[in-house]
Amino acid sequence: METRISTDVEEAAYHLSKGRVIAIPTETVYGLAADAMNVDAVEEIFRLKNRPFSDPLIVHVSTPEVLERYDIEVPLWAQRLISLFWPGPLTLLLPRGRKIPPLVTAELPRVAVRAPAHPLTQALLNLLPFPIAAPSANPFSHISPTTPLHVYRYFAGKIPFILDGGACPAGIESTIIGEEQGRFILYRPGALAREKIEEALGEKLYSRSAPSVRKPITPGQFPKHYAPKKPLLYGWNSPPVEPNASLILFSGSPQTSHPYTHVLSPEGDLETAASSLYATLHACEEEPTEYIIAQQVPLTGIGESLHDRLRRATSRSLFTIGHSHHSWAEFLSLLQRYEVQAIVDLRRQPHSRFVPHFSQGPLQKALHEHGITYEWQPVPARLLSTIERLLHRYLHIALLCAEGEPHRCHRFRLSDELSEKGFSLFHILPEGHLQLHRAPISLRLSEKD
Ligand code: TXA
Ligand code: MG
């Protein structure tokens, strides 16, 4: 199938009327669109995205008046938000009514609706006698597209048409909110800042707690939604300049000649950073680097949404570090450089006759003084649960071995096993840079403990 990229709204309308799936621009990200009332067309969206049927779709309308026609109830609080923020990047979960096909809402009692602000898609909706169901136009668990080219890379040959609306100005998905038992819930932070909605409602928004994979009754609940193809390490105050990494800085001008450095917003402006985030992640994927290091973003305004996306894109990762080559000062400076927040000591005998500093007592005390948590876990079978527990609180955890040289680390095999379990392992080498661990193809051949 040929995939045409064009600004022709009538051609887009024609494809949709024929029950085909096409890509459309919105102010947030590109969507993979179909006639929301045509069950076969909607099913094709799920198939193309490889998305589970349990994950419902947003219904896009031109104006709020359309909601009535589909029996969608609009309570007072929603009317107020609609009058202030539509068309715009705000999605509301509203009682479904009978007319919206259950496939669209994954049989849930509410339907997600929004009026996109992009002029081309507004024009398109005005040509159509039906609303549009559209998730973001990326394969399930990949980065959302913000340009026609991103969409093309994902779906060339699979869809007939991409409506070319240029780069999406907001750059991250809409904010999703709804009401549950008199409380307003922020299900997904997005391009409209929480504070603006709270001000309009005169109430605080509750955030949805821990994600659950099984029951996506609420949005964005698949824990990993926005994963780039290579490991991403997020949450740095001062990202280390690693030769094999793509670097994403939030603001400022890069103090480095590293060729794969990206600044989301030189002025530190959150809107600008949001509009460039996904394009930057796409670019990092294409670069000849092994992994991505991203600086912490501020948590105010839509910074909350940026943080949410980066956190979801973050891989489960661990560092390893050995102590035997280091003076205490060197060891500490490595921990600080890699912003290690917690250490799990893997040594069977956590004592060091020759270097007393690395014996458990003094080590724990010294780490504590620098705000670094220490745990001793010499039992391999219990390591995973220790790590899982610590990962709830810390992003940067280092496993402490005796030897710094990864190929001599007495627990090197653990690195292989952890990689097999989906962790990205980064060895902090004695000479002071990171090496991404590569697990051997077969774990059994070359191991010794
Ligand atoms: O900005 C956006 O919202 C973009 C553009 C294309 O409009 N769309 C988008 O759709 O991000 P999607 O499918 O990638 O994310 C929508 C989220 C999903 O996490 C889904 O689980 C949730 O909204 N959702 C949709 N309908 C729902 C419903 N009826 N009940 C609960 N959650 C729903
Ligand atoms: Mg999506």
Name the band, by pLDDT with cuts 50, 70 and 90, for residue 448.
very low
Which atom of ligand 1 is closest in space to residue 96's alpha carbon? 29
For residue 142, the ligand closest to its alpha carbon is 2
Between the CA of 327 and the centroid of ligand 2 the distance, in Å, is 48
Length of the chain: 449
Query: Which comes out higher in pLDDT, residue 196 or 427?
Result: 196
Q: Does residue 81 contact residue 200 with C-beta atoms inside 8 Å?
A: yes
Which residue out of 29, 58, 91, 302 has the highest number of ligand 1 atoms within 8 Å of its CB and is therefore the one to mutate? Answer: 58
List of domains in the chain? 4-207 (3.90.870.10), 232-313 (3.40.50.11030), 317-441 (3.40.1010)
pLDDT at 92 (0 to 100): 98
Atom 17 (ligand 1) nearest CA: 219
Which atom of ligand 1 is closest in space to residue 191's alpha carbon? 1
Which residue out of 51, 57, 85, 163 has the highest number of ligand 1 atoms within 8 Å of its CB and is therefore the one to mutate? Answer: 57
pLDDT at 167 (0 to 100): 98
Name the band, by pLDDT with cuts 50, 70 and 90, for residue 409.
low
Query: Which comes out higher in pLDDT, residue 141 or 9?
Result: 9
Dihedrals phi, psi of 433, to nearest 5 degrees? -140, 175
284-306 in b/e form (b: 16+ CB < 10 A) is bbeeebbbbbbbbbeeebbbbbb
Atom 10 (ligand 1) nearest CA: 135
> For residue 212, is pLDDT > 70?
no
Between the CA of 7 and the centroid of ligand 2 the distance, in Å, is 23
Pocket of ligand 1 (CB under 6 A): 26, 28-29, 31, 55-58, 89, 91, 93, 105, 108, 110-112, 116, 134-136, 173-174, 176, 216, 218-220
Between the CA of 127 and the centroid of ligand 2 the distance, in Å, is 25
pLDDT at 256 (0 to 100): 78
Name the band, by pLDDT with cuts 50, 70 and 90, for residue 406.
low
Which residue out of 32, 50, 59, 173 has the highest number of ligand 1 atoms within 8 Å of its CB and is therefore the one to mutate? Answer: 173
Between the CA of 434 and the centroid of ligand 1 the distance, in Å, is 37
Between the CA of 418 and the centroid of ligand 2 the distance, in Å, is 29
Name the band, by pLDDT with cuts 50, 70 and 90, for residue 350.
confident
Contacts 24+ apart (CB under 8 A), 34-37: 34/132, 34/133, 34/134, 35/128, 35/130, 35/132, 35/133, 36/60, 36/100, 36/101, 36/104, 36/130, 36/131, 36/132, 36/133, 37/99, 37/100, 37/101, 37/130, 37/131
pLDDT at 342 (0 to 100): 97
Atom 3 (ligand 1) nearest CA: 174
- Do β-strands 434-436 and 424-428 pair in parallel, antiparallel, or remain unpaired? antiparallel
Between the CA of 2 and the centroid of ligand 1 the distance, in Å, is 28
> For residue 137, is pLDDT > 70?
yes
User: What integer best gives the mean pLDDT of the chain?
Assistant: 90
Mean pLDDT of 407-435: 80
Which atom of ligand 1 is closest in space to residue 176's alpha carbon? 23
Q: Which residues surround ligand 2, an ion (CB under 5 A)?
A: 136
Name the band, by pLDDT with cuts 50, 70 and 90, for residue 403.
low
Name the band, by pLDDT with cuts 50, 70 and 90, for residue 213.
very low
Give percent of the chain above pLDDT 70: 91
Between the CA of 315 and the centroid of ligand 1 the distance, in Å, is 23
Distance CA 258, CA 242 (A): 8
Distance CA 65, CA 379 (A): 63
Distance CA 156, CA 273 (A): 28
CA nearest to 433, candidates 414, 406, 409: 406
Between the CA of 368 and the centroid of ligand 2 the distance, in Å, is 41
Which atom of ligand 1 is closest in space to residue 28's alpha carbon? 1
pLDDT tens per residue, range 21-50: 999 999 999 999 999 999 999 999 999 999
Between the CA of 232 and the centroid of ligand 2 the distance, in Å, is 19
Mean pLDDT of 220-224: 47
DSSP assignment letter at 37: T
Between the CA of 189 and the centroid of ligand 2 the distance, in Å, is 13
Q: How many helices (H) and strands (E) does the chain have?
A: 13, 21
Name the band, by pLDDT with cuts 50, 70 and 90, for residue 309.
very high
